[in-house]
Structure 1
Amino acid sequence: MRMLILYTALAAGANMAVAGSTLAGEIDLAAAKAGGLELAAGSGEQVSDTPYTDQEGAEYRLSDHRGTALLVNFWATWCAPCREEMPALNSLQKEFGGEGFEVLTIAAGRNPPRAIEKFLKEAEIDALPVLLDPRQKLAREFGVLALPATILIDADGKEVARLMGPADWASDTAKDVVNELKAP
């Protein structure tokens, strides 16, 4: 019985420590939800170091961006909601990208280079990188089952929040989330 009480107390203490901790890049999920951004809490764990590529085949890893908060968006050229939210992501990158924050858009699955280039030109996307996860290995490691999917990662490389589905990333709520994510 004493062991049960001890384990219960330890578990309760650990949960309270996690719930009461203030981490760099902590996001007010309730405020985001009230503002129309249906963010879910992230795992809080270090993100995968699985490589993804650019159009020329150069490999990158999320750890290459350590020290920078990231909004990682998995999308595809054939995904209508992805195509709708891409201009807002472009605007977010233009406004906040650079010091302490970056938007990484990663085309998951089969996305022919011509289709990507055509879409980016038509939508006037000029501030986002063209990154690829053709075998969806990175997307699968994040548990992405449908597109678009967005993962918010703090500057320490830990998953802070996620959103499955499209969002208005140019909204004031999204900008507040980015400012919270960038906060030291």
Structure 2
Amino acid sequence: MTDQKKRFPPGKFVVIAALAGLIAGAAVVYVRESGSGNGIAVETADAKTCEASKDKVAAITPFLKGQVAAMAPVSEPRPIAGLNFKGKDGKDLTLADFGGKTVLLNLWATWCVPCREEMPALNALQQSAGSDKFEVVAVNIDIGDDEKPKAFLDETKVHDLGFYRDSSMGVFNTLKKEGLAFGLPVTLLMDDKGCLISSMNGPAVWDSDDAKALVKAAITPAS
């Protein structure tokens, strides 16, 4: 599963296993939590606000099928604190900076083969569905500087996604502690209130009609 030609700095970011399994017909690359973090936790919503998001969970559930069948609806919508990362110019960001937008948050790394394979599809989804109501926020978690992830995005012509980075692995660690991540890629669907409504581990065909229908359902106001 991992690129055998790459070497990972010891004690920083260790691939501990690779499983060729079925999660919507795809595999997940497993990683071990590092001791690093990425800043102060900032919540994007509160529990009371997220109570109203149960209607949104009900609205998207019929669309969690086909190429996005591995996406699972949550039983209790909730905010996720501690999702802090960097923007293109090194600016500190949290999901609060995307307030009012439905966000498909995806964590990826250049050494993760399934991640690399789905990035063009995520780019296509952003190209077709991105708006003031929706954004694909793909956060790279390679350690080191920006050179490798930027080179990969250039090589694969992924230019419609914003460049978001967390070299500390803090975002992954937060999701792991929340029981939402055990490997890469991992994807969360957050509604426009900043509440988690669905999640999955493993890749999906994000430029498929199924994915587009899911996004449409997620951004449509609940009746």
TM-score range, shorter chain: 0.7 to 0.9
Q: Does 2:73 correspond to 1:36?
A: no
Q: Does 2:180 correspond to 1:148?
A: no
Quick one: which amino acid aligns to residue 116 of structure 1?
Answer: P
Aligned-residue CA RMSD in angstroms? Answer: 1.9
Q: Does 2:213 correspond to 1:176?
A: yes
Select the structure of larger CA radius of gyration. Answer: 1
The alignment's TM-score, normalised by the length of structure 2, stands at 0.68
Aligned length: 163
Q: Aligned equivalents of 1:27 and 1:173: distance in 2?
A: 11
Deviations 1:21-65 (A, max 9, x none): 52378412x5423x1311112351012254211243210110111
SS at match of 2:67: coil
Relative to structure 1, the CA distance from residue 149 to residue 50 in structure 2 (aligned partners, 3 Å threshold; closer, same or farther) is closer
On the 8 A contact 1:49/1:62 being kept in 2, the answer is: no
2:202 to 154, 162, 165: 165
Q: Aligned equivalents of 1:119 and 1:72: distance in 2?
A: 19
1:21-170 correspondence runs (5 A)? 21-23=54-56, 26-28=59-61, 30-33=62-65, 35-37=66-68, 38-42=70-74, 43-110=76-143, 112-143=145-176, 144-170=181-207
On the 8 A contact 1:25/1:154 being kept in 2, the answer is: no
How far is the alpha carbon of 1:111 from its aligned partner?
5.4
Unaligned runs of 5+ in 2: 1-50
Q: Aligned equivalents of 1:23 and 1:31: distance in 2?
A: 12
Q: Aligned equivalents of 2:116 and 2:125: distance in 1?
A: 15
On the 8 A contact 2:185/2:201 being kept in 1, the answer is: yes
Relative to structure 1, the CA distance from residue 119 to residue 109 in structure 2 (aligned partners, 3 Å threshold; closer, same or farther) is closer
Unaligned runs of 5+ in 1: 1-17
Structure 1 partner of 2:25: none
The alignment's TM-score, normalised by the length of structure 1, stands at 0.81
On the 8 A contact 2:63/2:214 being kept in 1, the answer is: no
SS at match of 2:184: coil
Displaced runs of 4 or more, over 6 A: none
Quick one: which amino acid aligns to residue 137 of structure 1?
Answer: G
Higher normalized helix content (fraction of residues) = 1
Quick one: which amino acid aligns to residue 215 of structure 2?
Answer: V
Paired-residue identity, %: 32
Q: Aligned equivalents of 2:217 and 2:172: distance in 1?
A: 24
On the 8 A contact 1:48/1:138 being kept in 2, the answer is: no
Q: Aligned equivalents of 2:138 and 2:169: distance in 1?
A: 13
Deviations 1:153-182 (A, max 9, x none): 000000010110010000110001100111
Which range is displaced more, 130-139 or 81-90? Answer: 130-139
